[in-house]
Structure 1
Amino acid sequence: MDVTDYASEREDAHRAAAIAAALAQQQQPAGASAEYCENCGEEIPEARRLAIPGVVLCVDCKSRLERCRGWK
């Protein structure tokens, strides 16, 4: 096994773990959506609260969080 094969296997494992974590998070029972963002305190629009049950972050804060975690 050369370095390229090893890197490819590591990337595949990392991707599989990230997908599994995302799926597990989606399968958790959602509670009531927050009216205000837990991070910045801004109001979360009603449309977002209805579309994503259990949402606790506004779009801006969720986007920042995903960028920090390397999600696209």
Structure 2
Amino acid sequence: MADNADIAAELMERRMEAALSSRLSLRIPNHDPDCEDCGNEIPKPRRDALPWATTCVECQSLRERRGRHVR
């Protein structure tokens, strides 16, 4: 018999999987490969891993350190 923690963990996992699959469906075929902060090209491995990424790794790290990672 599952306890409340197990049920909550399973529910969270299902919601995370649903959120990730919906984000993957947002792939934009003609997405601008340039970082919106610095203008440099976002590396292809990053674009492949995160098709919705609008910043390069360096700029995203700066945003997160500054606490402005929310657009």
TM-score by length of 2: 0.53
Figure out how many residues of one structure are paired with residues of the other and give that number: 58
Q: Percent identity?
A: 17
Would the alpha carbon gap of residues 58 and 35 (structure 1) be closer, same or farther in structure 2, given more than 3 Å must change? Answer: same
Q: Kindly provide the CA deviation profile for residues 16-58 of structure 1, in whole angstroms up to 9, marking residues without a partner as x.
A: 10111101110124143334433xx12233x428953554121
| Structure 1 runs, 4 residues or longer, greater than 6 Å off | none
Q: Which runs of 5+ in 1 are unaligned?
A: 65-72
How far the C-alpha of 1:5 sits from its partner, in A, is 0.8
So what's the TM-score if we normalise by structure 1? 0.53
Q: Which runs of 5+ in 2 are unaligned?
A: 65-71
